[in-house]
Amino acid sequence: KAGVTQTPRYLIKTRGQQVTLSCSPISGHRSVSWYQQTPGQGLQFLFEYFSETQRNKGNFPGRFSGRQFSNSRSEMNVSTLELGDSALYLCASSFRASGRIDEQFFGPGTRLTVL
Amino acid sequence: QKEVEQNSGPLSVPEGAIASLNCTYSDRGSQSFFWYRQYSGKSPELIMFIYSNGDKEDGRFTAQLNKASQYVSLLIRDSQPSDSATYLCAGDTGFQKLVFGTGTRLLVSP
């Protein structure tokens, strides 16, 4: 079974631009979560989507947004990029909608550099 | 205070020894806990999860959870140099929102 895929793998942007990152979950997985990883803050939760609905959101400004399509693929968008947005953006997919345990499997990430 | 705390390390152990990685959490609402391994330049890889008090074993790995003390640990038996990585502890606060610690760097020397 193919794992979580993310595109692009690397991206260089300048301040003020916007960026869109894409994530394709493991086949059959319906939940997609996004995380930001930086050396200073570690891994931080951005948001989670299930059946095209955002169910949970982390403490990030409104410049960070996302969506999920009917095939469970997800995109996240960052507008008006700032230098501090430079990070590894990770997508994770999981299978069950509810229940006590839902293992999340991470994709390889998109390395975003803002100049 | 961070919701999930880990000692950043590095934790150095010789090959063949037991590595003990610890994590404390502050949110009593977290019901399940996950251990991930992350090699430098790679994404986190799930090792195992635990949600009941006590021990859970999977091969060379044993996770321990003590909800009264809000403490989670991961033991790695017969440590190998290939186990050298950063180990991330995470608590699930609901709807797939994982709150991660900053990770403990483990170094296993041959």
CA–CA separation, B46 and B85 (whole Å): 13
Strands B45-50 and B32-38, how do they pair?
antiparallel
CB contact under 8 A, A48 and B97: yes
E strands along chain B, which residues? 4-5, 11-14, 19-25, 32-38, 45-50, 54-58, 61-66, 71-76, 85-92, 98-100, 104-109
CB contact under 8 A, A56 and B99: no
Q: For position A100, what pLDDT does the model report?
A: 61
Per-residue pLDDT reduced to its tens digit, B28-58: 888 899 999 999 999 999 999 998 899 999 9
CA–CA separation, A26 and B104 (whole Å): 28
Percentage of chain B exceeding pLDDT 70: 98
SS3 B43: coil
Instruction: Write out chain A's pLDDT in tens, 115 residues.
Output: 689 999 999 999 999 999 999 999 999 999 999 999 999 899 999 999 999 999 999 999 999 999 999 999 999 999 999 999 999 999 999 986 555 678 899 999 999 999 9
Phi, psi of B83 (to 5 degrees): -80, -10
CA–CA separation, B64 and B76 (whole Å): 12
Chain A residues in contact with B32 by the CB 8 A cut-off are 100-101
For residue B22, name the pLDDT band (cuts at 50, 70, 90): very high
Per-residue pLDDT reduced to its tens digit, A71-92: 999 999 999 999 999 999 999 9
